[in-house]
Amino acid sequence: GGWIARLKSGLARTGNQITDLFSRGGKIDEDLYEELETILITADVGMTATNALLADLRHLVRERRLSEAEQLKEALAECLLKLLKPLAQPLQADTHKPYVIMMCGVNGAGKTTSIGKLAKYLQGQGLSVLLAAGDTFRAAAREQLMTWGERNNVTVIAQQSGDAAAVIYDAVQAAQARKIDVVLADTAGRLTTQAHLMEEIKKVKRVIAKALPEAPHEVLLVLDANTGQNALSQVKAFDEALGVTGLILTKLDGTAKGGVIAAIAKAHPIPVRFIGVGEGLDDLRPFDAEDFVTALLG
Ligand code: GDP
């Protein structure tokens, strides 16, 4: 379908480099490993995951007595798949009612867009959705969410003033009263370096638990794949503050190098619930490791 093509074109640069390297022919030698190392690092895989992947690859090469460069592509695909597969754990939003999803991320990551896409995805699964306009810092964010809700027939709980925790608390209670299946709670985008904002988002999480024990059932961090290794520090900071249970990796259709997903798999193996492959409402896809590796290596 169209989205695989977009994912593929987003990852094309890296994919082409790897394909060119292996299809040049010749024997597997140190130069080849070195070039592959450079490609992986340029693709945002990062040192740690690159070293791990190469060690795994060398191991496979020895074990299977591979000697030709062109045999490496399949072996690399296997190593990548082994690394990424544990991340492919779909969101299961029907295990509690209401199922409360707390969204977080830095500004511009694609949080608002992803909320819209996610609401549509969940409705497609036959689940009713309620949005909580917990981004109380930007009036525009609230307006954006309300307009979106009206257009798509989704209830949005918002307040003119008040803090995020209060809005989301109300939303969880409203969802219980109205027997809604899923609450999508937006929070203000923030920089992980803003200590007071990180304290505030922790408070939001505590207050959600007061409204409904065990909630939030999912803390979803939205990451822009283009931010490269920076995405790793975001995972670390939000995970320390909130305990992130799932990731949405956006903009993989763009100029993203995509390798950051491997870096995450190595450093913070948190499930990647979805990937964003475009600006449209249907451009959110459950993460599938096979699809990803195929898009990358062909
Ligand atoms: P927020 O500040 O985190 O709420 O970010 P927004 O949801 O407003 O998104 C910022 C920009 O990124 C917007 O122009 C979105 O259309 C765009 N965007 C979000 N997700 C994707 C994606 O998966 N692919 C592409 N190409 N653009 C995206």
Lowest mean per-residue pLDDT among 11-20, 59-68, 270-279? 11-20
Calculate how far, in angstroms, residue 238's C-alpha sits from the geometric centre of ligand 1: 19
Confirm if 264 and 232 have CB atoms less than 8 A apart.
Answer: yes
64 marked ligand binding residue: no
| The token pair that represents 135 in the structure block | 């981004």
- Tell me the pLDDT tens digit for each residue of 187-242: 988 777 778 888 889 999 999 999 999 999 999 999 999 998 899 999 999 999 99
Please state the pTM of the whole predicted model: 0.95
Task: Name the residue type at position 50.
Answer: T
Average pLDDT over residues 118-139: 91
Distance CA 176, CA 181 (A): 9
Check if 189 has its Cβ closer than 6 Å to any atom of ligand 1: yes
Structural element, H or E, at residue 79: helix 72-84
In a 3-state reduction of DSSP, which class is residue 235?
helix
Average pLDDT over residues 270-289: 96
Calculate how far, in angstroms, residue 145's C-alpha sits from the geometric centre of ligand 1: 14
- Give pLDDT, residue 166: 92
Calculate how far, in angstroms, residue 281's C-alpha sits from the geometric centre of ligand 1: 11
Instruction: Give the position of tokens 């990796």.
Output: 249
